Amino acid sequence: MCTNLFFGGVAMIPAKCTTFSEQAREYIKECLLNGTLHPGDPIKESQIAETLGISRGPVRDALMTLQQEGLVMGSPQKCRRIRAMTAKEIEESYFLGGTLEGVCIVLALPQITKADLAEFDEILAEMKRQSRDAKVLSSMSEIDENFHDALMRKCHNSLMVDVARKSCSHISKFLYYKAWDTLFTPEEFYNRHKIIVDAVKSRDVQLIEYTLREHYQESGRRLAKQAVDASN
Q: What is the pLDDT of residues 63-115, one digit of tens each?
A: 999 998 889 998 767 789 999 889 999 999 999 999 999 999 999 999 999 99
Tell me the C-alpha distance between 40 and 131, whole Å. 33
Residue 173 has pLDDT above 80, yes or no: no
pLDDT digits 0-9 by tens, 20-62:
999 999 999 999 888 899 999 999 999 999 999 999 999 999 9
pLDDT for residue 17: 53
Could you write out the DSSP letters of every residue in 82-127?
E----HHHHHHHHHHHHHHHHHHHHHHGGG--HHHHHHHHHHHHHH
Q: What is the mean pLDDT of residues 106-126?
A: 97
- Which amino acid type is present at position 198? D
Confidence at 3, pLDDT banded by 50, 70, 90:
very low
Output the pTM of the full model: 0.80
Q: What integer best gives the mean pLDDT of the chain? A: 87
Q: Is the dihedral of CA 37, 185, 90, 63 positive or negative?
A: positive
Residue-wise burial string across 99-123, b where 16 or more C-beta atoms lie within 10 A, e elsewhere: bbbbbbbbbbeeebeeebeebbeeb
Cβ-based neighbours of 132, under 8 Å, separated by 6 or more:
186
Q: How far apart are CA 220 and CA 79, in angstroms?
A: 28
